[in-house]
Amino acid sequence: MSDNPTTIQAGPAGAARVGWDDAAQLHKCEDGGGIFHRFKTIRNGSLAELVAFVMSLPEDQQDDYGILKEGDHRMKIGEIRNLWRRDDFPAEHKTAHRS
């Protein structure tokens, strides 16, 4: 997936409330088959927590992870990076996981 703006809740980046506290799962991709090919749940948390966690990883490892947000919204690294860059990303999570 490219680094296109997020379309959470069918709106362009910045136009919709993201739901930073929504429940989410972090998944590790296996065997290079894509985000949900033989995926394994690594941890549960809020969307903001999991985005911050992925962004705290070395850049060459970030592609190995995806996030499944409640409502069955699947995110790969491009969307995760765009969420991290948003002005409304919760500051407490950015300072806890500097990358």
Per-residue pLDDT of 14-51, as tens digits, reads: 456 889 999 999 988 765 555 555 567 889 999 999 99
How many percent of the chain have pLDDT more than 90? 51
Burial 61-91 (b: 16+ CB within 10 A, else e): ebbebbbbbeeebebbbebbbbbbeeeebbe
Per the CB < 8 A criterion, the answer to whether 76 and 35 are in contact is yes
How far is it, in rounded angstroms, from Cα 37 to Cα 13? Answer: 28
How far is it, in rounded angstroms, from Cα 11 to Cα 33? Answer: 29
Does residue 12 have a pLDDT over 60? no
